[in-house]
Amino acid sequence: AGKIMRTLSNIVRLPVCRGNSCRLLIDAANAFPRIYDAIKNAEHYILIEFFIIKNDSVGQNLKDLLIERARAGIRIYMLYDEIGSHKLPPGYISALRKAGANIEPFNGKRHFLSNILRLNFRNHRKLVVVDGSTAFIGGMNIGREYLGKGALGYWRDTFVQLEGPSVQQTQISFLEDWNWAMLKCGPSSLPRLRWEITPQPEDETLLILPSGPADVIPAWKTALIALANSATRRLWIATPYFVPDEGVMAALQAAALRNVDVRILRPERADHILVKLSSFTFLRDLDTYGIQLWAYQKGFLHQKVVLMDDDIATVGTANLDNRSLALNFEITAVIHSPSACAEVKAMLERDFSSSKRESLADYNNKSLGFKMLCNLARLTAPVQ
């Protein structure tokens, strides 16, 4: 496990750091109140970055809270992806700016042609940092459906709350994105942040893993392959979108051949039909090697979590598809902690108890037309 952490540290050029505490926040009902409390208690500044911000009751609540905080003198820096948040009305943004908040689209300073060329390069990160002392990273965006109030019903997702030096690493990721969004404004646009480190008594070892299309070495893909290659007992992966590339698939297959308990947990319900259809075509590649595919039954599973043995767990924004492997800007907390891994293991065991194991027979029993649709969908996997 130590070798994996050092390898990933070398790739992202951030140190593996001790002195952290991490708390699992299961579902929005637990995550949103913790985030709101941290925002309410901010004394200096708030950093916020989401792929999707909706102008619904959840989005309005966040906006009202941020406006109140901005008027109280708290510095607010907010980034959103203009593709993911394309329905966000100008009035939402202008109300925040009028109150004194700094809010920018990730690619908003680019000219038209550049935006067209970068449509596939989306900022998929979801993070909140308050005063450089606490950070939140996970799968949920800002909207009612993440509370289970959308068409997909109950929404299963996971965030992690961090304290300790991993918070400063999260700030570095945000600062790089802010610098990109404000490129034409020069260095003076960079916010003044707190960089003092406060070690936590839990002393958990952590590395923040930003990843994206600008990587010289693909950080998230390398992490998945390294975890698969190092696993000796289990490799459990929860992802809403399972469309791996050949390198990741080969690493999963090799792990299974070593008798590692390799499981993929995905949702039974789909919010992206092409991804759902494509994932069926991987059943043969999984079943032949003894890799288990599980379908979550209780609602829509959207969490992005990996557990390797009892040694390393990851919680973040990256899926197991080509977008997260090569196109999206993502962020993941890589946690090397027996206690955190035990929590993640218990959480995933509860998820598996609400899931049904799928087999190759499930696919073989489908109609010829359905199989043709699945194979056609597979052709679009690079841009799903």
Q: 126, 221, 276, 336: which is the annotated catalytic residue?
A: 126
Q: State whether 236 and 275 are in the same domain.
A: yes
Q: State whether 222 and 200 are in the same domain.
A: no
- Domain final position from 174, 204, 234: 204
Q: State whether 323 and 229 are in the same domain.
A: yes
Is residue 126 annotated as a catalytic residue, yes or no?
Answer: yes
Is residue 131 annotated as a catalytic residue, yes or no?
Answer: yes
Radius of gyration of the chain (CA): 20
- Domain final position from 170, 204, 238: 204
Q: State whether 95 and 241 are in the same domain.
A: no
Q: 54, 276, 304, 336: which is the annotated catalytic residue?
A: 304
Handedness of CA 3, 6, 12, 18 (dihedral sign): positive
Structural domains of the chain, count: 2
Q: 134-138 and 158-163 as β-strands: parallel, antiparallel, unpaired?
A: antiparallel
Q: State whether 243 and 199 are in the same domain.
A: no
Residue range of the domain that includes 367: 206-383
Is residue 304 annotated as a catalytic residue, yes or no?
Answer: yes
CATH of the domain at 96: 3.30.870.10
Residue 11 is assigned to a structural domain of this protein? no
Q: 309, 311, 321, 351: which is the annotated catalytic residue?
A: 309
Q: 54, 221, 276, 302: which is the annotated catalytic residue?
A: 302
pLDDT digits (tens, 9 = 90+) for 131-140: 999 999 999 9
Q: State whether 76 and 175 are in the same domain.
A: yes
Whole-angstrom CA distances from 53 to 87, 118, 354 are: 9, 20, 29
CA distance 218 to 281: 25
pTM (2 decimals)? 0.92
Q: Residue 359 has what pLDDT?
A: 80
Q: State whether 163 and 271 are in the same domain.
A: no
Is residue 302 annotated as a catalytic residue, yes or no?
Answer: yes
Q: Residue 379 has what pLDDT?
A: 67
Q: Residue 110 has what pLDDT?
A: 47
Q: Residue 118 has what pLDDT?
A: 53
Residue 3 is assigned to a structural domain of this protein? no
Q: State whether 179 and 238 are in the same domain.
A: no
CA distance 249 to 91: 45
Q: State whether 115 and 176 are in the same domain.
A: yes
Q: 131, 215, 310, 362: which is the annotated catalytic residue?
A: 131
Residue 1 is assigned to a structural domain of this protein? no
- Domain final position from 204, 232, 260: 204
Residue 6 is assigned to a structural domain of this protein? no
Q: What is the pLDDT along the chain (384 residues), one digit of tens a residue?
A: 899 999 999 999 999 999 999 999 999 999 999 999 999 999 999 999 999 999 999 999 999 999 999 999 999 999 999 999 999 999 999 999 999 999 999 975 444 444 444 556 899 999 999 999 999 999 999 999 999 999 889 999 999 999 999 999 999 999 999 998 887 666 667 899 999 999 999 999 999 999 999 899 999 999 999 999 999 999 999 999 998 999 999 999 999 999 999 999 999 987 666 767 777 777 888 989 999 999 999 999 999 999 999 999 999 999 999 889 999 999 999 999 999 999 999 999 999 999 999 887 777 777 777 767 776 766 665 655
Residue 374 is assigned to a structural domain of this protein? yes
Q: State whether 227 and 194 are in the same domain.
A: no
CA distance 117 to 138: 28
Residue 7 is assigned to a structural domain of this protein? no
Q: Residue 370 has what pLDDT?
A: 75
Residue 308 is assigned to a structural domain of this protein? yes
Q: State whether 250 and 114 are in the same domain.
A: no
Q: State whether 139 and 260 are in the same domain.
A: no
